[in-house]
Amino acid sequence: MTKNTTVIQLLAIMAASFMFFGCAQDMTSTSQSSKPAAAKVEKQSETVFKGPIVGRSNKAKTISITVGKGDQAKTMMVRFDDNTKGLEFAQKGEAAIINWEQRNNEKFATVIKPKLAKLPDGVTEIKVDEMYSLLEAHVPLTLVDARPKLRYDQGHLPGSISIPVPKLKEMKAKVLPTDKDELLVFYCGGYT
């Protein structure tokens, strides 16, 4: 297997990951969907919910989350209070993991964490400081913004190019740089 083939395969896997975890969301629509995107099927622990957040009411102090997939999908509701950790991760449309406990007849969120995409083999995460060092050292690289074009147009990292996930999925290697030995860095708007 050649290095070019490996890079193309890794990019295809990354694109598939982005599709499930928010980078491919189209932010152009302002209409509210009554049915959220289905979560990846995962075994749910008795006191853990995993899936996309459907909504959050600060007034009622509730969070709705969809668990399961397709016909098996259910929307579950948990309450939260001042002791709930990680409320910043309870954002509509974002995938989350909610640990909860039963109090009387209600479920209360104790800890909320982002549900992160697992990176494919051969793909590594670059932290902000490391990325900054690469840019400061003028290391040859291609920086790709994988968000929808509208989001790119609203603002993006300097020097990045726009290759939204649907475009990458459709056109594959045709939209990637021709130098396959150059570092290729993707970013999006989620916690992937």
The per-residue pLDDT for range 114-146, each reduced to its tens digit, is 887 777 777 778 888 998 898 899 889 999 998
pLDDT band at 27 (very low <50, low <70, confident <90, very high): very low
Give the pLDDT confidence score for residue 90 in this predicted structure: 92
Q: Quick one: tokens of 155? A: 């603002």
- Give the integer Cα–Cα distance in Å for 117 and 190: 10
Q: What is the 3-state secondary structure (H, E, C) of the chain?
A: CCHHHHHHHHHHHHHHHHHHCCCCCCCCCCCCCCCCCCCCCCCCCCCEEEEEEEEEECCCCEEEEEECCHHHCEEEEEECCCCCECHHHCCCCCEEEEEEEEECCEEEEEEEEECCCCCCCCCCCCCHHHHHHHHHCCCCEEEEECCCHHHHHHCCCCCCEECCHHHHHHHHHHHCCCCCCCEEEEECCCCC
- Give the integer Cα–Cα distance in Å for 178 and 192: 25
The per-residue pLDDT for range 69-95, each reduced to its tens digit, is 889 999 999 999 999 999 999 998 888
Q: Which domains does the chain have, with CATH numbers?
A: 3-21+118-187 (3.40.250.10), 48-114 (2.40.50.320)
Mean pLDDT of the chain: 78
The answer for residues whose C-beta is within 8 angstroms of residue 145's C-beta and 6 or more apart is 151, 152, 156, 157, 160, 161, 162, 163, 187, 188
